[in-house]
Structure 1
Amino acid sequence: MSFTHKEPLQPKLTALPASKDVEALVRAEHHDPFSVLGPHDDDHGGQFIRAFLPEALSVQVLARDSGEQIGSLDASQVPGLFVGHFTTRQAYLLKIQWAGGEQITEDPYSFQQLLLGEMDLYLFAEGNHRDLSSCLGAQVTTVDGVQGVRFSVWAPNARRVSVVGDFNIWDGRRHPMRLRHPSGVWEIFIPRLQPGAAYKYEVLGANGILPLKADPMALATQLPPDTASKVAEPLQVDWQDHEWMQSRLEKQKSTAPLSIYELHVGSWQCELDEAGEVARQYNWRELAERLIPYVQQLGFTHIELMPIMEHPFGGSWGYQALSQFAPTARFGSPEDFAYFINALHQADIGVILDWVPAHFPTDTHGLAQFDGTALYEYANPLEGFHQDWDTLIYNLGRTEVHGFMLASALHWLKHFHIDGLRVDAVASMLYRDYSRKAGEWVPNRHGGRENLEAIDFLRHLNDVVALEAPGALVIAEESTAWPGVSQPTQQGGLGFNYKWNMGWMHDSLHYIQQDPVYRAHHHNELSFGLVYAWSERFILPISHDEVVHGKHSLIDKMPGDRWQKFANLRAYLAFMWMHPGKKLLFMGCEFGQWREWNHDQQLDWYLLQYAEHKGVQKLVGDLNRLYREEPALHEQDDAPQGFQWLIGDDAINSVYAWLRWSKDGKPVLVVANFTPVPREAYKVGVPFGGRWSEVINSDAEMYAGSNYGNGGEVFTQDEPLHGQPVSLSLNVPPLGVLILRPETL
C-alpha cells in the first residue's frame, strides 16, 4: 500500500495479545502465529505491529518505501515480544538490534496473504499434483515485490512447525509457520533469504519436539554427513538437447536397440593421489568429460546411474534415499547434474536413473515419523517396516504419499530431461508378504497377499509418465512371475516399458559357472529363457548386484584357468548380446575386472594394459556396434518370429545355434560352443545359400583369443539340415561364439 503522509508516525499505545497466545508463543506452541504477530488493524485506521524476536535488544520500524524511521516497537514484559501501535497503516521494515549486529528486513508476518493457491493444495491432497517440486518445499519467489523464500511442508498432525537455519540461529520460536486447513500444509514466506541457505523444520508433535527434519521436498542438500536441506536457485539450464528430445520417442521404442551401461558415479573413475588412493571424486562436469568418450567408444546407447537422489549413507549406493527431489551434493549442484545430462544427450547417449519408491531409511532427520506420526510410512510395522533392509515402506495408499512419489518421478523426467526410470525392488512393492513369514504380514482388504495400493500407484505412474514425458522409459526390477508387468494398463498390466529378466540372469550365470565337463547336465539353463522370452518386454541385466557381497566379479565366476576364464567371459557376453532382450552391463564387466566392485574405490583401469582385458573391452564395443547396426538383433526382441532355434539339443557338445530375424527377413546366425574343445566341420542348417560372413568370432586374435575360426567367411553346401535347405560346415572355436550373416541378400 502507498501513503502520501511522510511524517514519522509515533506509537500511541501497546496492546499485548491474550495471555494464552503469549504463553503459546513463548513455548513455541502457537498453531497460528499470523493471528498474533505482524500487523493487525485497529478500529481507527491504524495498526498494531507485534514481533516475537527472542534475544533481540531493540526494534525500530522503518517505512518500506523510504527507509525512514517511523517508530519503535516496545519491549513487553514477555522477553522477546515487541509491540507497537501506529495511527496509520503502512508497509514497513524492521530494524533489529542483536548482540552481534543490526538487521534490516521485512517482517515475515507482515505477508498476511495466503501463499499457496487452493488448487495446488487440492491437487496435493488428491495425490495428483504433477509439479509438486515447484510448489512445496523452499521456493525462491517474490511476494509484494519483495524477494525471499516461500517454505511449505506437509505435517498434518503437527502442533507447530517452524523453519530454522543459520538465518535465525536455529531457533524454532522465530519463524513458526501457518497451517492451511484442511490440507495439513504449513507455510511461511521469509523475506530476503538467499539461495544456498541451509534449513530444516522444527516440528512439535503430539509428544513434544521432534529431531530437526530435513525438507522432504528439498531441491538441494548439504554435503553428507551434514543433513540440512538447502534453498536452491530456480534451475537455470541452457538446454541444447532439443534434437535428442525430439527424436527420443523413436530412439526408445521397443523395436530400437537399447544397450545400457550401468554405473555408480562415485566409483567409476576418481582422482588419485600419489599413493594411488582415491583423493576425491569427480564432479558432474569432470565426469561428463571422461565418461562420454568412453561410452561412445564402447557403443552403448544409454547409461544407467545407480540412485543419485540424496542419501545419508554412501554405503547404501543410493538405494536408501531421503531426498527424492535433490541430486546428491557429492558431485556438485543441481545445475551441474543438468549439465551432465545435457552433454550426454548432445553426444546421443540416453540417461536412465535408478529410482526407489519402495522404501526409505529410518534416519531421524528424514521422513520417519515426520510429524510425530507414521505419515509417509505405514503405522503397522507388519506393513511399514522392511526387515531385509531395515527401512520403512511408503504408504502409497495415502493420497499425499502417492502424489509425492509420482511428483518425484516427474521431477527427474521433466526438469532434468531424464530418459527413463528403473524402478527398484518392484517385487517388494507388489506383495504384502514379500520376505515375510506367516503371521508377519497384513492381508489386503480381500484377504490376499497383493499390495493393492502399490499396484494402483505403479499403474498410475506408468500412465502419467506416458502422458507427461512422451518417450521416457519406466523399467521394472521385478523378480517374480507377476503377469503383465510390461503389458499396458488398459489390458490389465502394470504398464512398464520393460522388465528386468532376472530368471535369464540367474539361469545363465548358474550355467556359465559350471565346469564345462558338467555343462551337458545343465544344457537347458541357457535355452529355458526362450520358453518365456515373449511373455514380457525384457532387459537382460548383468547388474551391480551380481558382482558384490562375495558373488565374485563376472570374470571370476568363470571356471578354468586364466585363458578359459577370459574365453568363457567373451562367449558369455556374445551369447547375451545375441539373445533376445535389451542389454544392461555393469561397469567393470566390460573389461573383466577381477576384483568385486567396491563403492569406495575406482575401477581397476590399470588392467587395460593387458591384452586379455583390452580384448574383452574391444569385443563389447564390437558387439554393441553390430547390435545397433543389425535390425535382426533388436527389432523383434519381444516377438517369437524374431528368433528361430536351429540347434537347441546338442547337450553332449554344449553347442547351441539359432537365427535372429529382422522384420524384412534378413537373418543373423549365432553358433555357441561352451566347451574348451574346438568343433571342426560342425554342420548347421541355414536358410540361404552362398557366402556367409563371419562378422564376429569371440575367439578372434584381436580379442586375445586363439583365433580358431573360418577365416572371415564360409560358403554353404547343398545339404539340407535342421529344416533348412542348405548348410554350413563351421569351425566352431573353443569356448567361443560365432556370429555370421548371409551376403547374398
Structure 2
Amino acid sequence: MLEMTPAMTRLVEGRDGDPFALLGPHDTAEGKVVRAFLPGARAVTVLAADGATLGALSQTHPAGLFVGTVDRAAPYRLRITWPKAESETEDPYAFPPLLGPLDLHLIAEGRHRELGRVLGAHAMKVEGIPGVRFAVWAPNAQRVSVVGDFNGWDGRRHPMRRRIEAGVWEIFIPRLLPGTRYKYELLGPDGATLPLKADPCGGQAEKSPANASVVPDPMPPRLEGLQGPSHSPDAPISIYEVHAGSWMRHEDGRQLSWDELGDRLVPYATGMGFTHLELMPITEHPFDGSWGYQPVGMFAPTSRFGNPDAFRRFVARAHVAGLGIILDWVPAHFPTDPHGLGHFDGTALYEHADPREGFHQDWSTLIYNFGRHEVRGYLIASALHWLREFGCDGLRVDAVASMLYRDYSRKAGEWVPNIHGGRENLEAISFLKELNEAVAEHAPWATVIAEESTAWPGVSKPVSEGGLGFGFKWNMGWMNDTLHYMERDPIHRGFHYDAMTFGLVYAFSERFILPLSHDEVVHGKGSLIAKMPGDRWQRFANLRAYYGFMWGHPGKKLLFMGCEIAQDREWNHDAAIDWPALEDPMHLGVQRLVRDLNRVMATTPALHRRDADPGGFGWVIGDDRANSVYAFFRYGTSADPMALVVCNLTPVPRISYRVGVPRAGRWIERINTDAAEYGGSGLGNGGAVMTEPVPAHGHAQSVLLTIPPLATLMLLPEGG
C-alpha cells in the first residue's frame, strides 16, 4: 500500500481544501498518475474515450483512495466497480478551472451583475461532456464540497476547487442532470463541519418543507421585447397585490400552479382593470407563515407553484394580456434557518457579526452587511435576475425604513452609530442608490418601489439629484390617516376632517403609490369592510365611498386581493379568498365598483397623468367640516378634460349642494359609488347635471348636486 502523505490523510478525513492538487491526473517521475477518492468502491479502471484501457488504479487506503499510472495522457473516464453495480463517468478532477479571471474580479468587487449565471448550479457541457458546474462564495471555509443523492451526501466525495482570488469554490461534476438535489457541506475556519447549506445562488429548490437545492434546467435565452404596461409617473397604474398561494385554491385545498394562475388570475386581474400584479415574495422561503418575507433563495422562484420555467411562462402570459408583474423583494434581512445564509462559511459572511447591527429584534432575522462589496453585489444581482431572466417589470423593496436607520426599532444602547455618530445607515443608503442605478442601467424598462414608512427625503428622487433613486414610494402616511378617519363614526368625522386633507400637503413631494395592502388586513386588524362603522348597509357604503376617494386622489393605486370583493374576514394565508361572497349583491357591487374605478381612471387622463405634479390637483371644497364634504379637481394636460371628485362622508344625503366649476355646460356623472349596481341606494343626479351662472368657490359657474349618503361622485365636462 502506498505511503500516505499528509495531503492524502487530509483528503480521506474530509479536511483537504485543495483536492485538485492531489486528485485527478498529474505528471510525476513515474509518469502520468491518476488518483481518485471513491469511498465504497471495489475497483477502478481508467478508460480512454474509445473504451481502451489506459490503466488500473490500486486502492491505497481503505477509506477509498485509488492511485495508478496510465499508459498515455488522454481524456479518460473511470469505470467504477461498486459492491452491487458498475458505473462509468468522467473524472471531475480532470477538468480545468471554469470561472474566468474577469468573473472572479467582478465577484470580488461586488459588481458581477450576472451572478445567477456564474455562481450556483448550471447544467452545461464542458469539453463536450454534459454535467453540472457548481460554484459558491465561501471565502473563510477550510473546505467546501457538493453533496447530494449522487454521492450519498458524503462531503468527502466531491470537495471543490478554491479560487482564492474571490473566495469562490467550484467544481464540474460530469453526467449529473437537471433535477439533481444538492447542498454544500462546509468546514468553517475552525475546522468544524457546518450544517448543510442550500445554494445562495441556486435557481431552484425542493418543495417546502424539504430544503435542498435542485439543479435547474438550463436557463433559456433572456426574454426580450415583451414587457408589461408603462409605469411612468404619467401612466395609469392600478396594482392588484396577490399572495399566490391563497388567491384561489382547488376544492381539496391544493394551491394553484403557475400555469393555473395564468389561466385564472391573469384574466381576472385584466378583466378588473388592474394594470399590474404585485406578487408577495416568491423567492424561495422555508416558512409559509412568513408569506415569503424571510427568503433563503434570492435567485429561485419558490417551488410551491412549479419550476422556474413555469414562472417564466406566467410572466409571459401576463405580458400578452397587457399586465405588468411586480415582485416583492426582500434585501433587508434573512432568516436564521440552519440551511440558509446565516454563518454561511462559519463566519458572519452575509450578516454583521455584532447583533446590534446584524440581528433584527422584531423579526428574529439576520441583517445583511451592506458595507461588504460581495453582499451588495449578491443582492443587486438578485434584483437584476428577476428583471432580466424572468422579464418582470418591477420590484417592490420591502422594509426600506428598517434599512435606512441604524436605530430602527431599537432602544438606546442597542444600536451602533455610523462613523459620524448618527443614526443613518450610510452603507444601506449607498446600497439602495447603487441598486437603483444598476436597475436603470441594466433593466431600464423596470421600476423599483420603496415600502418606506418614514419621512426620509427624496426616496423617489434621482440619485443624481441627491435622492435614493426609487421609481415610486408607498404613501404609508396617507393610508394610516385616511383609514383611521374612515373607521370613525361619521358623527365624529367633522372633528377629524383634516385627516383626509393632510395627505395633499405632501402628496407631490414623492412619486407616491396609495396602498391598501395585506398589512391592513392581518394580525387581528380585520378586513377593510370590518373596519367600517355603522350597520351593514353603511359599512358597504363607507367602503365604496373610500374607494372612490382613493381613486380620485393623486397617486397610483394598490389594492390587496379580497378587498375588491369586500371580504368579511381578514386574510388567512392558508385559505383562498371568500369567492362565494360574490353571490351577495353587496359584495358583487363592490367588485363592480373597483372594476369601473380602474376603467374610468385609465380612460380619464386627468385622473392619472399628473399624479406627481401639484398642478394636477386643486381644492374646491376642503373646509366643510359640518357636512364632511370634500370636493376637488384633477387636471391632466391643457388638452385633457378635468375631473371633479365630490365626497360625502356622512350618512346624510346632501340635496342641492352647490359646487363651483370653471366650465359651463353639462357635467357627466362617470362614477357614483351609491349607484344601485354597486349595492347603493341609487340616489344621484340622473347621470348628468347642467351648470348655472351662479358664482361659487371662485368660479363663475356652478352645479347643484345631489350627493348621496356615504358616497363619492366623479364628474367630467361633456365633450372634453
Q: What TM-score comes out, normalization by structure 2 length?
A: 0.98
Give the Å deviation of 1:86: 2.4
Residue among 4, 7, 11 paired with 1:25: 11
Residue among 634, 642, 665 paired with 1:667: 642
Q: Deviations over 1:126-145 (max 9, x none)?
A: 11111110001111122121
Give the Å deviation of 1:254: 0.8
Task: Name the aligned partner's letter for residue 12 of structure 2.
Answer: V
* CA spacing shift, 1:131–1:238, aligned 2, 3 Å: closer
Residue among 131, 149, 152 paired with 1:148: 131
RMSD: 1.2
Residue among 49, 52, 57 paired with 2:37: 52
Distance 2:657 2:682 in 1: 17
* 1:290 alignment partner, SS class: helix
Q: Deviations over 1:168-198 (max 9, x none)?
A: 0000000001111131101111011111000
Residue among 621, 624, 629 paired with 1:650: 624
Give the Å deviation of 1:666: 2.1
* CA spacing shift, 1:15–1:119, aligned 2, 3 Å: farther
Within a 5 Å distance, the mapping from 1:272-287 to structure 2 comes to: 272-273=251-252, 278=253, 280-287=254-261
* CA spacing shift, 1:203–1:474, aligned 2, 3 Å: same
* CA spacing shift, 1:51–1:393, aligned 2, 3 Å: same
Is 2:144 the counterpart of 1:189? no
Give the Å deviation of 1:76: 1.2
* 1:271 alignment partner, SS class: coil
Is 2:571 the counterpart of 1:597? yes
* 1:209 alignment partner, SS class: coil
Q: Deviations over 1:565-611 (max 9, x none)?
A: 00001000010000000000000000100010000000000000010
Q: Deviations over 1:46-68 (max 9, x none)?
A: 301111111111111111x2112
Residue among 166, 186, 189 paired with 1:206: 189
Task: Name the aligned partner's letter for residue 98 of structure 2.
Answer: L
Task: Name the aligned partner's letter for residue 84 of structure 2.
Answer: G
Distance 1:725 1:437 in 2: 58
* 2:246 alignment partner, SS class: helix
Residue 11 of structure 1: aligned partner: none
Distance 1:144 1:293 in 2: 46
Within a 5 Å distance, the mapping from 1:78-227 to structure 2 comes to: 78-111=62-95, 113-207=96-190, 208-227=192-211
Residue among 49, 53, 57 paired with 1:69: 53
Task: Name the aligned partner's letter for residue 222 of structure 1.
Answer: E
Deviating more after overlay: 606-615 vs 96-105: 96-105
* 1:220 alignment partner, SS class: coil
The answer to whether the 8 Å contact 2:38/2:157 transfers is yes
Give the Å deviation of 1:470: 1.3
Give the Å deviation of 1:320: 0.3
Task: Name the aligned partner's letter for residue 232 of structure 2.
Answer: K
Q: Deviations over 1:258-288 (max 9, x none)?
A: 1000000000000013xxxx1x111000111
The answer to whether the 8 Å contact 2:54/2:72 transfers is no
Distance 1:120 1:235 in 2: 19
Residue 212 of structure 2: aligned partner: 228
Task: Name the aligned partner's letter for residue 239 of structure 2.
Answer: I
Residue 350 of structure 1: aligned partner: 324
Q: Deviations over 1:150-182 (max 9, x none)?
A: 111111110000000000000000000111113
Is 2:403 the counterpart of 1:429? yes
The answer to whether the 8 Å contact 2:54/2:71 transfers is no
* 2:502 alignment partner, SS class: helix
Give the Å deviation of 1:237: 6.9
Distance 1:15 1:27 in 2: 17
Structure 1: any 5+ residue segments left out of the alignment? 1-13
* 1:152 alignment partner, SS class: strand
Task: Name the aligned partner's letter for residue 704 of structure 2.
Answer: S
Task: Name the aligned partner's letter for residue 218 of structure 1.
Answer: G
Distance 2:687 2:366 in 1: 57
* 1:585 alignment partner, SS class: strand
Residue among 708, 713, 716 paired with 1:738: 713
Distance 1:243 1:197 in 2: 32
Is 2:392 the counterpart of 1:408? no
Within a 5 Å distance, the mapping from 1:287-302 to structure 2 comes to: 287-302=261-276
Give the Å deviation of 1:78: 4.3
* 1:429 alignment partner, SS class: helix
Distance 1:550 1:79 in 2: 59
Distance 1:192 1:744 in 2: 70
Distance 2:157 2:595 in 1: 60
Residue 10 of structure 1: aligned partner: none
Distance 2:231 2:528 in 1: 28
Deviating more after overlay: 564-573 vs 134-143: 134-143
Deviating more after overlay: 70-79 vs 344-353: 70-79
The answer to whether the 8 Å contact 1:41/1:89 transfers is no
Task: Name the aligned partner's letter for residue 161 of structure 1.
Answer: V
* 1:455 alignment partner, SS class: helix
Residue among 530, 538, 556 paired with 1:582: 556
Distance 2:360 2:51 in 1: 57
Residue 4 of structure 1: aligned partner: none
Task: Name the aligned partner's letter for residue 675 of structure 1.
Answer: T
Residue among 9, 31, 36 paired with 2:22: 36
Q: Deviations over 1:182-221 (max 9, x none)?
A: 3110111101111100000000013300000000000000
Task: Name the aligned partner's letter for residue 405 of structure 2.
Answer: Y
Within a 5 Å distance, the mapping from 1:525-674 to structure 2 comes to: 525-664=499-638, 666-674=641-649
How many residues of Structure 1 are paired with residues of Structure 2 in the alignment? Answer: 718
Residue among 267, 271, 277 paired with 2:246: 267
The answer to whether the 8 Å contact 2:623/2:630 transfers is yes
Give the Å deviation of 1:71: 2.3
Is 2:702 the counterpart of 1:719? no
* 2:46 alignment partner, SS class: strand
Task: Name the aligned partner's letter for residue 267 of structure 1.
Answer: S
* 2:245 alignment partner, SS class: helix
Within a 5 Å distance, the mapping from 1:463-474 to structure 2 comes to: 463-474=437-448
The answer to whether the 8 Å contact 1:237/1:335 transfers is no
Within a 5 Å distance, the mapping from 1:476-491 to structure 2 comes to: 476-491=450-465
Task: Name the aligned partner's letter for residue 268 of structure 1.
Answer: W
Structure 2: any 5+ residue segments left out of the alignment? none
Q: What TM-score comes out, normalization by structure 1 length?
A: 0.95
Distance 1:123 1:458 in 2: 19
* 1:318 alignment partner, SS class: coil
Deviating more after overlay: 134-143 vs 580-589: 134-143
Q: Deviations over 1:204-255 (max 9, x none)?
A: 013300000000000000001111000111123795x83546xx5xx22110
* 2:646 alignment partner, SS class: strand
Is 2:285 the counterpart of 1:304? no
Is 2:431 the counterpart of 1:445? no
Identity of aligned residues (%): 60
Deviating more after overlay: 345-354 vs 444-453: 444-453
Q: Deviations over 1:442-486 (max 9, x none)?
A: 011111111111111100111110111112010000000000000
Task: Name the aligned partner's letter for residue 609 of structure 1.
Answer: E
* 1:187 alignment partner, SS class: strand
Residue 321 of structure 1: aligned partner: 295
Task: Name the aligned partner's letter for residue 36 of structure 1.
Answer: L
Distance 2:257 2:634 in 1: 42
Task: Name the aligned partner's letter for residue 205 of structure 2.
Answer: T
